[in-house]
DNA sequence: TATGAATGAGGCTTCATTCAT
DNA sequence: AATGAATGAAGCCTCATTCAT
């Protein structure tokens, strides 16, 4: 692992653990077992490290989105799949998410980055909804707003999971919540879902 | 306005604007037009100021919750009312919310405070759902999880509104989203929402 | 008790307990149950309080010295009496002594005050020795130096007692130590030193 | 000279000159011609600097004590030697002594350090007396108390010398004072001192 | 006399960044 | 590339003293 990557990965761990402000260059150097000066050979500033972390994360989500779109084009992506993929992604990148959630309010670069992230996620969901509506599997809801609502729900789920891990996971129920609101039941299409539950 | 209140209100503005770390005691004193030493005549530490802000906010939400419960007891509280009241409250206390959202990840006191806040909101929604289910106006959904989902949605809405004000407000649609997922159509229409609005 | 005396006595306790630097005007006011401003109505500065304490102590020792001299004049003062009186005095004024010992190295006023105190004590002992030598009860030792040695021993004893109370009291033995060095045994006078030097 | 040693030696001078409280980190940095931040690269806190000074002094006295014991074992150490060695040591380490004497009443670390110092000196003197008594050259005095008395006398002497240099040195007479009290005249005369020295 | 809020200088400490080696 | 000592600005906080009431 190159020194640059070592710094990046150590910084990622530290920022997600203690926050950006509490990760000092001294701490970082000690934990990465390099000298403080070395950091500045690879990065312009402390913020620059964060920038790299954010950029990498950005790429990763871009890849996920592309992959989802490909499957959407093939028509093999159910809502459960889409949300499931996102859960998997977010869990796998918990440290990045924590960094984003923990710094967007204090650092302009993260704020912008998270803004883009939200927009991308919203866009993806919008696209999914749009196809669903066209196919008659999804109710005719406003695209932009609903996309945002779902994206938003994801962030909330992650936040709770990352910062209040003692609260029981409610992601499954969140999926159900969305499905009830959006999905048109396959059989008796005119009606809502779970019609069978009622007399 | 007493000096203590002046400090409190100036600090509230500053923290919500630039974050807790970037509000320094020197900045705060300058903007409040007092000397730095004066801050410490009224508060034990910089964090103590935040503590007071959080406590006050806590009281305010407690009052709202109580008021909602009273109306629930009378049976005059619809879902729209409940959510509407929350929107009003959150808008009226935007600075507090921004402080909470911006510091829970870096300060233990805010983290605890926000934890309590979430729990209270969830509890209130649970109670509402529970009554609705008993009355047959709300679908039979898991109480705790669903309460959390709605609470969560609120925080998300506020976050977007406060940090990305350029994104169009989607709160109305969020209410609709929740209603579709939760509310049982009054009489003959056991199904989806607003189907009649469409041609 | 007048406010001035209240301040003085409270300050004396505090300085002897925690030291001059750690007694702040805020602390003092709180403990004396007065306001900070009141201190400055009675004293010019924090050091001025100390000055008063030192002056009072000075008077007290002056009184002791005078009393000892009176008894010396009457010829009724043995070495044991003299040292005993000093022990009693020092014990009775432990707080003052602690203040003096704890501040002479950092404050000019105490330094001067302690200098005077030492000189007075030395002078008194010198006088005692001088009479004893004349009477043939005390060895013919250098007056100034020996007076200082005894004075010095007292300060040492007090210091240990006040700052290392866990060390067993050795004042009785200190008196014996001095007596062995100074007193000519009553019976076999010829053995006393330098007797042959005198006509 | 390394920066650390520079700080240490500058601090030693300053503390002994103006006291621990009046040596501020800003003063120290200015006098050592370094920046304030540099201090904290080498020491954890201002008190930590003092701790190092005290530790070094501790070592130095330990070395002296060991050397004295070695000579005691060889039987070549007279009382004059022992006290003389101590005078030399104390003079050579005047700054350290001044620091110890000037801060033991306000700082826990110095208080402990001086407590140890006193105990060590007392122990050494006790040992000397114990051997002297066994050999019949010293009177049969209580060991612990007398050891303390002599140790105490040393501190007193140093104190006067360091803080009231205008007072004439009385250390020679102090040695004589002790000898008269403790030493048994060599041959036939169990009493009076040094009568044999005279014609 | 008494109050106590306000002051502001100054104390200790931290930390991102630079630079000589 | 790497080191790590040095920097100095800035942060939080304390405290003797003043002043309007």
When scoring D117, D156, D172 by the number of chain C Cβ atoms within 10 A, the one with the most, hence best to mutate, is D156
pLDDT recorded at residue A32: 97
**Residue D75's pLDDT band (cuts 50, 70, 90):** confident
Answer whether C29 touches D (CB < 8 Å): no
Q: What is the pLDDT of residues C27-48, one digit of tens each?
A: 999 999 999 999 999 999 999 9
Residue ranges of chain B with per-residue pLDDT less than 70: 186-199
- In chain B, whose CA is at the least distance from the CA of A144? B170
Alpha-carbon span B150 to D102, nearest angstrom:
66
Mean pLDDT of chain D: 92
Residues of C in contact with D142 (CB under 8 A): 173
Mean pLDDT of chain A: 91
Count residue pairs from C and D with Cβ separation < 8 A.
114
When scoring A106, A136, A163, A179 by the number of chain B Cβ atoms within 10 A, the one with the most, hence best to mutate, is A106
Contact B167, B121 (CB under 8 A): no
Residue numbers of C between 35 and 74 with CB closer than 8 Å to D: none
Q: For residue C146, give the nearest of D98, D148, D173 by CB distance.
A: D173
Planar angle of CA A139, A142, A143, nearest 5 degrees = 95
pLDDT recorded at residue D150: 95
pLDDT recorded at residue C58: 96
Q: What is the mean pLDDT of residues D56-69?
A: 96
Segments making up each domain of chain A, as ranges: 1-43, 46-185
Chain C nearest-CA distance from D165, in A, is: 11
Asked if strand F comes closer than 7 Å to B67 Cβ, the answer is no
Asked if strand F comes closer than 7 Å to C30 Cβ, the answer is no
pLDDT at A190 over 80: no
DSSP-H helix ranges across A75-142: 79-92, 94-103, 108-135
Count residue pairs from A and B with Cβ separation < 8 A.
119
Distance from residue A1's CA to nucleotide E19's C1', rounded to whole Å: 27
Q: What is the pLDDT of residues A24-51, one digit of tens each?
A: 999 999 999 999 999 999 999 999 999 9
pLDDT at D188 over 60: no
- In chain B, whose CA is at the least distance from the CA of A170? B145
**Residue C197's pLDDT band (cuts 50, 70, 90):** very low
Helix (H, G, I), strand (E, B) or coil at A189: coil
Structure tokens at D3: 């920066």
**Topology match between the domains A1-43 and A46-185:** no
For chain B, give the secondary structure using H, E and C: CCHHHHHHHHHHHHHHHHCCCCCCHHHHHHHHCCCHHHHHHHCCCHHHHHHHHHHHHHHHHHHHHHHHHHHHHHCCCCHHHHHHHHHHHHHHCHHHHHHHHHHCCCCHHHHHHHHHHHHHHHHHHHHHHHHHHHHCCECCCCHHHHHHHHHHHHHHHHHHHHHCCCCCCCHHHHHHHHHHHHECCCCCCCCCCCHHHCC
CATH of D1-43, one of 1.20.1300.10, 1.10.287.3510, 1.10.10.60, 3.40.50.2000: 1.10.10.60
Chain C nearest-CA distance from D174, in A, is: 7
Q: What is the pLDDT of residues A84-100, one digit of tens each?
A: 999 999 999 999 999 99
Can you name the CATH fold of B46-185? Tetracycline Repressor; domain 2 (1.10.357)
Residues of D in contact with C145 (CB under 8 A): 168, 170, 173-174
Answer whether B144 touches A (CB < 8 Å): yes
Distance from residue C104's CA to nucleotide E4's C1', rounded to whole Å: 33
Structure tokens at B155: 């925080």
Q: For residue D163, give the nearest of C104, C164, C176 by CB distance.
A: C104
Alpha-carbon span D89 to B96, nearest angstrom:
66
DSSP-H helix ranges across chain D: 3-18, 25-32, 36-42, 46-74, 79-92, 94-103, 108-135, 143-163, 171-182
In 3D, which of C117, C34, C118, C121 has the Cα closest to residue C86? C121
Distance from residue C16's CA to nucleotide F15's C1', rounded to whole Å: 20
pLDDT recorded at residue C187: 60
Contact C90, C190 (CB under 8 A): no
pLDDT recorded at residue A187: 59
pLDDT at C118 over 60: yes
Residue B183 bridge partners (DSSP)? B138
Distance from residue B71's CA to nucleotide F4's C1', rounded to whole Å: 67
pLDDT at D196 over 60: no
**Residue D115's pLDDT band (cuts 50, 70, 90):** very high
pLDDT at D186 over 90: no
Contact D90, D162 (CB under 8 A): no
Contact D95, D13 (CB under 8 A): yes
When scoring C156, C165, C172 by the number of chain D Cβ atoms within 10 A, the one with the most, hence best to mutate, is C156
Asked if strand F comes closer than 7 Å to B18 Cβ, the answer is no
Structure tokens at A127: 């696209």
pLDDT recorded at residue B79: 87
Residue D183 bridge partners (DSSP)? D138
- In chain B, whose CA is at the least distance from the CA of A169? B145
Contact A23, B106 (CB under 8 A): no
Total-model pTM: 0.90
Residues of C in contact with D156 (CB under 8 A): 152-153, 155-156
pLDDT at D198 over 50: no
Residues of B in contact with A22 (CB under 8 A): 106
Answer whether D109 touches C (CB < 8 Å): no
Contact A134, A188 (CB under 8 A): no
- In chain A, whose CA is at the least distance from the CA of B112? A164
């Amino acid at each position: 692992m190159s020194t640059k990557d070592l710094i990046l990965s150590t910084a990622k761990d530290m920022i997600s653990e203690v926050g950006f402000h509490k990760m000092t260059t001294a701490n970082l150097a000690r934990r990465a077992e390099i000298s403080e000066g070395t950091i500045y050979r690879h990065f312009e500033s402390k913020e620059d490290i964060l920038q790299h972390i954010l950029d990498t994360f950005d790429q990763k989500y871009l890849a996920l989105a592309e992959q989802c779109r490909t499957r959407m084009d093939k028509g093999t992506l159910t809502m459960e799949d889409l949300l499931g993929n996102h859960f998997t992604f977010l869990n796998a990148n918990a440290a990045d998410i924590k960094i984003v959630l923990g710094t967007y309010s204090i650092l302009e670069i993260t704020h912008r980055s998270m803004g883009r992230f939200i927009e991308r996620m919203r866009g993806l969901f919008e696209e999914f909804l749009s196809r669903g509506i066209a196919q008659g599997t999804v109710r005719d809801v406003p695209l932009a707003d609903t996309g945002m609502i779902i994206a938003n729900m994801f962030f909330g789920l992650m936040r709770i999971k990352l910062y209040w891990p003692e609260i029981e996971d409610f992601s499954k129920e969140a999926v159900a919540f969305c499905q009830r609101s959006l999905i048109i039941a396959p059989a008796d299409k005119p009606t809502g879902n779970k019609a069978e539950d009622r007399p």
